[in-house]
Structure 1
């Protein structure tokens, strides 16, 4: 296909999208770019529309795709609100000027400062609405809990040939590595990453659920995963998932030191939002008790509003834990620095 024809098709697609948004311009609308691909979120959007009368037009893509789209659309972007599932990507979008500050007393009151973008006088540019812990999963028949209860031990020679992870450059891992960078510094982080690579049972591949299954099968002894993937398997009625859960143990690392790393799913008001009032209303809605409970009960995440009661048997079974208190805006900045260390450590 020629570059010309590709460009024409892209232009037609853009016009079609613009037409879809324009068709609803006479009614209250919110144009949402979302990296949250969870069916349970449909109730969030439906409830918001019922409560406010604002219709949601949604575009789904992954974090990287959404940011690329915002860059390409520039000032003509129809996006009002952007939902991403990683602090590092939220930080990067803020740094690139893709968001605008939101001055909301409600959001400042309900959401912890560590889960918001830095307030530079006009409000924060992004807000974390749910958290997920970066846990260590281990094979109970092959690994002792005390041999894997810190992130540092992933690089300990005693765990040689046991460690499995997804790609080191995946946002979930980059954010974890960015937090470790903050705790121990650049040189020690590089040494640690090289140790993790040396301990791998196989080259990084797959997603977090793949790592959990590999631990259960014995291919790996230890793996990293976001907590909600574990909780999802725990709540499954499938026999194969129940078998996986029986074989694994779950650790919240570093409980005797700085605490377990947490990442966020967060939202922001797009820089060129055509409906900023609706956008802010939606961002504030996501901090409501009802929406926060949905994050926990619908998708096995932890609510950012700490007063919200969770009714999720899997999260209850995992138990409480101490989380680290590094601002996620700092983690986002460090994740950029970590990428160079990954290259030197040959962490694929």
Structure 2
């Protein structure tokens, strides 16, 4: 009986040991499986990039959705005015959800950097996509597109050979023929700021006063309204951004297409300082929670595919030199652009506003 009991106890111990080992093996396998899954599957909520943008273009929205389709990274967009977004980023500080700040104008980009809401972006892909002249020297912002501020003219009443420089718009032959939008417009402020940088305040003031003297009417409306005023015979020449001409030419409204057919694009100052060009850019926010995803989005926006899409749909000039331009941009020809640091547009902004007020450019 004792012998039987010892055998029974030994058998029972072996069974319990085997069961214990099997359970341990099962738990280890389960833990290992969980470990693998946690390493390979990042939570869905992490696959996002949050954008604060002052660019309100459908083309940008499509680029964001294309990026999501390619990468699975969702782009959340908050739109607003540039200065409001900068103040919001300052106010939110470390708690901000924003990963990227996007805006037009080199001066505003410089202001964002000055307000310490951006951090450097390091990427060999971005450096390859975007030439140094279209990047902040400290990589706090990256250019995504450019637009030239040109002279647009009536094909019926003006011959291209009559045009030459911005300065020539102050001559008597253009008296009562020049159209421009308000001095409160950032594009005009940056244009004058570029003249301050290149020619000095005195010459910049002479230019602004001379243009006011030749106004066909008091400034009114946006850039497209200046083109429409040419078509209506109100004036013969206007100061405009190139991409508005592209938007008119490809408008769904026949009247706007007709306006575009009757105006020409002239790049001034080709024998002197070059045509004024401004930039749209992207900055990585100082307190970004998703810097890797944000960098991937900048890399995508500056790659050939997105650059060609933006140029074909918003008629801006691509910053990536390998991107093909649409036919309308090609038809305007190559041109020499101003060579200056985009930061100076912000540095001279208040001086430009002061000059406009002084000479009566309303």
Same fold (TM over 0.5): yes
Matched with 1:220 is 235
Whether contact under 8 Å (1:78, 1:274) holds in the other structure is yes
Q: Report the Cα offset of residue 87 of structure 1.
A: 1.3
1:277-288 pair list within 5 angstroms: 277-288=292-303
After superposing the two structures, state which structure 1 stretch, 142-151 or 37-46, moved more.
142-151
Given the two structures, how large is their TM-score scaled by the length of structure 2?
0.83
Structure 2: unaligned runs, 5 residues or longer = 1-42
Post-superposition Cα deviations, 1:67-123, rounded to whole Å, max 9, x if no partner, equal: 23223333322111011011111111111212112222322332122212222xxxx
* Unmatched runs of 5 consecutive residues or more in structure 1: 1-23
Paired with 2:161 and 2:99, the residues of 1 have a C-alpha distance of 47
| RMSD (Å) for aligned C-alpha atoms | 1.9
What is the aligned partner in structure 2 of residue 15 from structure 1? none
Task: Report SS of the residue matched to 1:36.
Answer: coil
Q: 1-side partners of 2:137 and 2:344: how far apart?
A: 9
1:334 counterpart residue number:
348
Tell me by how many angstroms 1:25 deviates.
7.5
Larger Rg: 2
**Does the 8 Å contact 2:146/2:318 carry over to 1?**
yes
Q: List aligned pairs for 1:156-167, cutoff 5 A.
A: 156-167=171-182
What's the offset of the Cα at 1:299? 1.1
Summarize the alignment of residues 92-171 of structure 1 with structure 2, pairs less than 5 Å apart: 92-119=111-138, 124-171=139-186
Which residue is equivalent to 1:315? 329
Structure 1 counterpart SS, 2:156: coil
Query: Aligned partners of 2:306, 2:113: CA distance in 1, in Å?
Result: 24
Indicate conservation of the 8 Å contact 1:82/1:267, yes or no. yes
The CA distance in 2 between the partners of 1:149 and 1:215, in whole Å, is 19
Q: Which sits farther off after the overlay, 252-261 or 25-34?
A: 25-34
Aligned residue for 1:167, secondary structure, equals coil
Which residue, 62, 66, 71 being the options, matches 2:85?
Answer: 66
Query: Which has the larger displacement, 104-113 or 299-308?
Result: 104-113
Q: CA deviation at 1:175?
A: 1.7
Distance 1:71 1:148, change over 3 A: farther
Deviation track 1:198-239 (CA, whole Å, cap 9, x = no partner) reads 111222221111111111111122111111110122223533
**Alignment TM-score, normalising by the size of structure 1:** 0.86
CA distance, structure 2, for counterparts of residue 286 and residue 243 of structure 1: 32
Q: What SS does the corresponding residue of 2:340 show, helix, strand or coil?
A: coil
Change (3 A) 1:125 1:95: same
Decide whether the 8 Å contact of 1:116 with 1:329 is kept in 2.
Answer: no
Aligned CA distance change for structure 1 residues 214 and 72 (closer, same or farther; 3 Å): farther
Identify which range, 181-190 or 102-111, moves more after superposition.
102-111
What is the aligned residue count?
320
